[in-house]
C-alpha cells in the first residue's frame, strides 16, 4: 500500500517523535502552513519530556504533565503523529519510506531517530530487576521492581543516573552509586567542584563508588538480581539495578541508505545530510563533525531541519551550550573547559 497525497502540497515525513522530531514538525508548520506533516514514533505515546522521566520513579506516570503537546494541540496545528510506527526502510531513489508494511512518499524527509541506552555485555544482564532508563515503559518496569526492593545499585553517574539514585534514595531504599570514572561529573566539574558535589551526594545517605568497574550481576534461583559483581570480585547487594552509562545513536535503519555516516549521520549547518531533501537532527546527527547529545541542542537542530525541509533557509550555530543539572538538592551549571 502506498500513501500518496496531492502533488501540490509539500509532503514532510519525520522519523522519530522525540524533541528533535517534534521541534522539526513545529518549525515546518511555521514555515509552510499548507504542508502535510507526519511524524512516526515507535513508542505508544505522543512526544514527551524524556528528561522528566525520573520524576516518576516511585509513582504513577502523569501523561498530562509529561506530554510536550497534547493531541488537541497537534490536531489544531495539523501535525499528524503515528504512534507504534516502526520505519523499516528508506528509499531515497523513490522518495519513499516503509512503515508497518505501508509505503509513504515524501518531498522532504527528516531523520530524528534519537538514541538508545547502552547496556554493556555484563554477565547476568538478563536477570529480572536489571533496568535501563529511557522510556515510559522503562519507568513502569522500574517501579514494579522497586515495590519490594531494599537495596538498589545505580551504575553511571550522569544526569539520569544521579536523578534515579536521588529518587530511589528518597523512597528509603539504600542506594549504591557506581561510577567508572575517577570522580563524579568529571566532564562538567573540576576536581574541587566534583569533591563538593560528591560530599553532597553522600550526605543524602547514598554510597558512592568512583573508579570502579562492574563485570556482572549475580541472581537468585528465581532469576532475580541480588548482587553487583565488581572487577575486584567485590559484591554489592542490590534487589534492583539501574544501568545508565550513556547512549548510542539509532542508526541501524540508515546503514544501507547511501547516507554519509560514521557513528552518527553527517549533516552540515543546515542539518542537510549527504542526500538532497533528507535532513537529520538530534542525537542521531553530527553537525560538521560535532555531536552534542543535549536536549536544547536537539530542539534547536530540529527547528533548523524543519524550517529547511519546508523551504526555509535556517542555519544551526554550534555554540557551546551550558550543562545544567538539578539534582540532590543542588544546581550545577557549567560551560567551557573544566581543565
* Pairwise CA distance, residues 111 & 284, whole Å: 8
The dihedrals phi and psi of 55, each to the nearest 5 degrees, come to -60, -20
Q: Which CATH superfamily is domain 2-116+248-309 in?
A: FAD/NAD(P)-binding domain (3.50.50.60)
Domain 119-245 has CATH 2.60.120.10: no
Three cell numbers, residue 192: 574541587
Three cell numbers, residue 111: 531523520
Contact 243, 234 (CB under 8 A): no
Neighbouring residues of 165: CB distance < 8 A, sequence distance ≥ 6: 152, 154, 175, 177, 201, 206
Three cell numbers, residue 219: 541472581
Contact 314, 270 (CB under 8 A): yes
The dihedrals phi and psi of 155, each to the nearest 5 degrees, come to -100, 115
pTM of the model: 0.92
CB under 8 A, 24+ apart: contacts of 217-224: 217/122, 217/123, 217/124, 217/125, 217/127, 217/130, 217/241, 218/124, 219/124, 219/127, 222/128, 223/127, 223/128, 224/127, 224/128, 224/129
Task: Provide the H-helix boundaries in 33-172.
Answer: 63-66, 71-76, 136-146, 159-170
**pLDDT the model gives residue 334:** 67
Where do the CATH 3.50.50.60 domains begin and end in the chain? 2-116+248-309, 119-245
Q: List per-residue pLDDT tens for the chain, 339 residues long.
A: 445 444 579 999 999 999 999 999 999 999 999 999 999 999 999 999 998 999 999 998 887 789 999 999 999 999 999 999 999 999 999 999 999 999 999 999 999 999 999 999 999 999 999 999 999 999 999 999 999 999 999 999 988 899 999 999 999 999 999 999 999 988 788 899 899 999 999 999 999 999 999 999 999 999 999 999 999 999 999 999 999 999 999 999 999 899 999 999 999 999 999 999 999 999 999 999 999 888 999 999 999 999 999 999 999 997 766 667 777 878 777 665 544
Q: Which of 77, 83, 88 is nearest to 37 (CA)?
A: 77
Contact 9, 34 (CB under 8 A): yes
**pLDDT the model gives residue 7:** 58
Amino acid at each position: 500500500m502506498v500513501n500518496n497525497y496531492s502533488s501540490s502540497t509539500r509532503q514532510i515525513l519525520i522519523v522519530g517523535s522525540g524533541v528533535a522530531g517534534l521541534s522539526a514538525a513545529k518549525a515546518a508548520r511555521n514555515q509552510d502552513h499548507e504542508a502535510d506533516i507526519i511524524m512516526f514514533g515507535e513508542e505508544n505515546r505522543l512526544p514527551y519530556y524524556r528528561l522528566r522521566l525520573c520524576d516518576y520513579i516511585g509513582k504513577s506516570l502523569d501523561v498530562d504533565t509529561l506530554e510536550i503537546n497534547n493531541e488537541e494541540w497537534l490536531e489544531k496545528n495539523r501535525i499528524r503523529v503515528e504512534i507504534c510506527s516502526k520505519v523499516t526502510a528508506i528509499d531515497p531513489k523513490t522518495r519513499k519510506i516503509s512503515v508497518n508494511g505501508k509505503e509513504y512518499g515524501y518531498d522532504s524527509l527528516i531523520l530524528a531517530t534519537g538514541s538508545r541506552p547502552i547496556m554493556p555485555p555484563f554477565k547476568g544482564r538478563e536477570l529480572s530487576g536489571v533496568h535501563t532508563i529511557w522510556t515510559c515503559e522503562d519507568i513502569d518496569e522500574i517501579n514494579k521492581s522497586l515495590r519490594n526492593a531494599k537495596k538498589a545499585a545505580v551504575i553511571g553517574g550522569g544526569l539520569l543516573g544521579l536523578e534515579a539514585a536521588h529518587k530511589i534514595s528518597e523512597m528509603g531504599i539504600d542506594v549504591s552509586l557506581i561510577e567508572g570514572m575517577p570522580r563524579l561529573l568529571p566532564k562538567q566539574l573540576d576536581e574541587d567542584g566534583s569533591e563538593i558535589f560528591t560530599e553532597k551526594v553522600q550526605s543524602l545517605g547514598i554510597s558512592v563508588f568512583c573508579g570502579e568497574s562492574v563485570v556482572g550481576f549475580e541472581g537468585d534461583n528465581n532469576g532475580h538480581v541480588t548482587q553487583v559483581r565488581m572487577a575486584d570480585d567485590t559484591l554489592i547487594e542490590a534487589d534492583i539495578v539501574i544501568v545508565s552509562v550513556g547512549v548510542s545513536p539509532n542508526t541501524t535503519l540508515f546503514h544501507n541508505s547511501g547516507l554519509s555516516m560514521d557513528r552518527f549521520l553527517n549533516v552540515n549547518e543546515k542539518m542537510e545530510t549527504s542526500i538532497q531533501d533528507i535532513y537529520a537532527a538530534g542525537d542521531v546527527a553530527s553537525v560538521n563533525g560535532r555531536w552534542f547529545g543535549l536536549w536544547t541542542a536537539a530542539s534547536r537542530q530540529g527547528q533548523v531541519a524543519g524550517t529547511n525541509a519546508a523551504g526555509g533557509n535556517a542555519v544551526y550555530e554550534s555554540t557551546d551550550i551550558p550543562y545544567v543539572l538539578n539534582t540532590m538538592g543542588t544546581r550545577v551549571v557549567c560551560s567551557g573547559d573544566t581543565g
